[in-house]
């Protein structure tokens, strides 16, 4: 984690000021990480460490940056710089907590990749009266389970499966709705501490 408390406080204060002055839409935040490799030597006490390499160069030291961006503007709300050997999963909760300190509101939709789907992360988001949008990885919904759910949906749709799909609309710049997707949902009760 970024251990610079002064830097975190400065970032939060600036983010609050931007949100307040510009009255930006505060409904969607994208959270994701990126790794940057370097030719520098591995530093066991610093940020540059060998880890899983997306460059397929495990011999290179790297650092990782976790960004939380206000969507669709792309305004950074929280930044974490960590050593390159850290996994993504545990970075989401601190990033979301930093965003909450900036926005000071609930009802935010956090959008992330499948690493954001960890049960603890989803529980923290839900506990804060926020929402999440993330694909569920195979470890949570194996192919067989997904396939069975899709088959049962199509078999239970008497007339036509298409008639059971719910449309999802988005507004264009003129305020008109346009179709962006059709889908169905299934609810599964879960609990976490």
User: Which whole-number Å values give the CA distances from 98 to 20, 70, 145, 156, in the listed order?
Assistant: 17, 13, 35, 44
Domain limits, the chain: 5-135, 142-184
CA angle 64, 67, 72 (to 5 degrees): 150
At residue 166, the pLDDT reads 86
The CATH architecture to which 5-135 belongs is: Alpha-Beta Complex (3.90)
Encode pLDDT of 35-64 as tens digits. 777 777 677 776 776 766 666 677 777 778
Stated pTM of the model: 0.72
CA angle 113, 110, 102 (to 5 degrees): 130
Encode pLDDT of 63-100 as tens digits. 788 999 988 888 888 888 887 777 888 999 999 999 99
* E strands, 112-160, in order: 131-133
Query: Mean pLDDT score of the chain, rounded to an integer?
Result: 80
DSSP assignment of 4-72: -HHHHHHHHHHHHHHHHHHT---SEEEEEEEEEEESSPP-TTSS-EE---TTS-TTSEEEEEEEEEEET
């Amino acid at each position: 984690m970024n251990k610079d408390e002064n830097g975190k406080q400065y970032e939060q204060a600036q983010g609050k000021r931007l949100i307040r002055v510009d009255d930006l839409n505060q409904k969607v935040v994208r959270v994701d990480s990126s790794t940057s490799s370097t030719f520098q030597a591995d530093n066991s006490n610093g940020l540059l460490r060998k880890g899983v390499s997306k460059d397929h160069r495990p011999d290179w030291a790297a650092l990782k940056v976790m960004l939380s961006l206000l969507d669709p503007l792309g305004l950074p709300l929280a930044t974490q710089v960590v050593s390159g050997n850290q996994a993504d999963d545990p970075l989401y909760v601190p990033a979301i907590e930093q965003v909450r300190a900036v926005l000071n509101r609930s009802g935010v939709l956090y959008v992330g990749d499948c690493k954001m789907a960890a049960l603890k992360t989803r529980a923290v988001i839900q506990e804060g009266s926020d929402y999440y949008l993330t694909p569920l990885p195979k470890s949570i919904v194996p192919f067989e389970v997904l396939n069975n759910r899709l088959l049962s949906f199509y078999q239970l749709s008497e007339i036509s499966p298409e008639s059971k799909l719910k449309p999802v609309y988005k507004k264009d710049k003129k305020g008109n709705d346009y179709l962006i997707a059709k889908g169905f949902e299934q609810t599964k009760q879960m609990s976490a501490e």
